[in-house]
Amino acid sequence: MATWLFLSGHYSFLLIAVGSLASLFVIFLVSRMRLLNSKNVSFKPILGFLRYVPWLIGAIVRSNIDVAGRVLNPRLPINPTVVRVPAEQKTDIGRVAYANSITLTPGTVSLDLTGDEIEVHVLSQKSLDELKNGSMARRILEMEKT
């Protein structure tokens, strides 16, 4: 809730009250489903996520600039193609995070996630090269390890 308040800039009593009630309701549901207990609660995944998000935001900004340049300059090549990339993440959550990160990055869209492969539509060779260099996949693997 604190993140939403910080990012939205809206601080009315009603929004804070509804957000607090929603947060309490989620905590209640999680405790009733017994998804968390004191023995397996760890903040390491949260720390890994907090390291990944700034890198992802940077990748999104760089890709936005590249796609905008291709749209504004007709001499820059646009070579749309569909490729399959390996998803080497160890967990389903890791593979879904990878597919979602690909889709969040302008110039690439995840079309299908099947087993250990993701079918991706790429807008240009540069987008394909960045995807194939594997830095995004490696960062998600690192996030999974934490």
Q: Domain locations in the chain?
A: 2-33, 47-145
* Per-position DSSP letters for 35-98, written without gaps between them: ---TTT--SHHHHHHHHHHHHHHHHHHHHHHHHHHHHH-TTS----EEEEEE---SSHHHHHHH
Are the beta carbons of 121 and 80 closer than 8 angstroms?
A: yes
The pLDDT, as a whole number, for residue 87 is 92
pLDDT in tens, the chain (146 residues): 677 777 777 788 888 888 889 888 988 887 777 666 656 656 677 788 888 999 999 999 999 999 999 999 989 899 999 999 999 998 888 999 999 999 999 999 999 999 899 999 999 999 999 999 999 999 999 888 86
Q: How many degrees, rounded to 5, is the angle at CA 97 between CA 93 and CA 98? A: 120
The pLDDT, as a whole number, for residue 31 is 74
What residue type is assigned to position 112 of the chain? D
Question: What pTM was estimated for this model as a whole?
Answer: 0.72
The pLDDT, as a whole number, for residue 16 is 85
The pLDDT, as a whole number, for residue 45 is 72
The pLDDT, as a whole number, for residue 10 is 77
Two structure tokens written together for 59: 């990748």
The pLDDT, as a whole number, for residue 47 is 82
